[in-house]
Amino acid sequence: MINTRNDSILAQLSPFVVTTNANRPVLDEAPFGLATRWFIDPHHTRWGPFFDLLQRLDALTFGPEGMPMDKWVFYNCAELPGFIYGFALEAERLSASERDLMGVPASWTGPVPFSMYIAIPMHEPGAWFGHNLASLNRTFPHRRFDGLGTITKAIGLAAFRVERFYGATQWLSNALHIHTRFGPLDLYTTYTPAHSLAETLTYGFTVTAEKLRYAAGDPAATLAVPEPDIALDARDVVGMKALQVRIEAGERFTLVGPPSTRGQQVVHPIRTVPPAA
Phi then psi dihedrals of residue 117, to 5 deg: -130, 130
Query: Is residue 21 domain-resident?
Result: yes
Query: Is residue 223 domain-resident?
Result: no
Name the domain count of the chain: 1
* SS3 assignment, position 31: helix
Query: Is residue 261 domain-resident?
Result: no
CB-CB contact of 39 with 17 (8 Å) = yes
Nearest CA-CA partner of 113 in 64, 60, 181: 60
When pLDDT is cut at 50, 70 and 90, the band that residue 277 belongs to is low
Give pLDDT tens digits for 185-236. Answer: 999 999 999 999 999 999 999 999 999 999 999 999 999 999 999 999 999 9
Query: Is residue 53 domain-resident?
Result: yes
Query: pTM for the full model?
Result: 0.92
When pLDDT is cut at 50, 70 and 90, the band that residue 141 belongs to is very high
Query: Is residue 28 domain-resident?
Result: yes
Ranges of H-type helices in the chain = 8-12, 48-62, 71-74, 96-102, 148-159, 176-179, 209-216, 237-248
Mean pLDDT of 108-135: 95
Query: Is residue 235 domain-resident?
Result: no
CB-CB contact of 254 with 261 (8 Å) = no
Query: Is residue 26 domain-resident?
Result: yes
The answer to whether residue 65 scores a pLDDT higher than 70 is no
Query: Is residue 158 domain-resident?
Result: yes
Q: Say if strands 164-170 and 200-206 run parallel, antiparallel, or are unpaired.
A: antiparallel
CB-CB contact of 20 with 80 (8 Å) = yes
CA distances 112 to 7, 16, 95, 101, 225, Å, are 19, 10, 12, 12, 37
Range of the domain at 91: 8-162
Give pLDDT tens digits for 10-23. Answer: 999 999 999 999 99
| pLDDT score of 208 | 97
The answer to whether residue 66 scores a pLDDT higher than 70 is no
The answer to whether residue 92 scores a pLDDT higher than 90 is yes
Give pLDDT tens digits for 247-262. Answer: 999 999 999 999 998 8
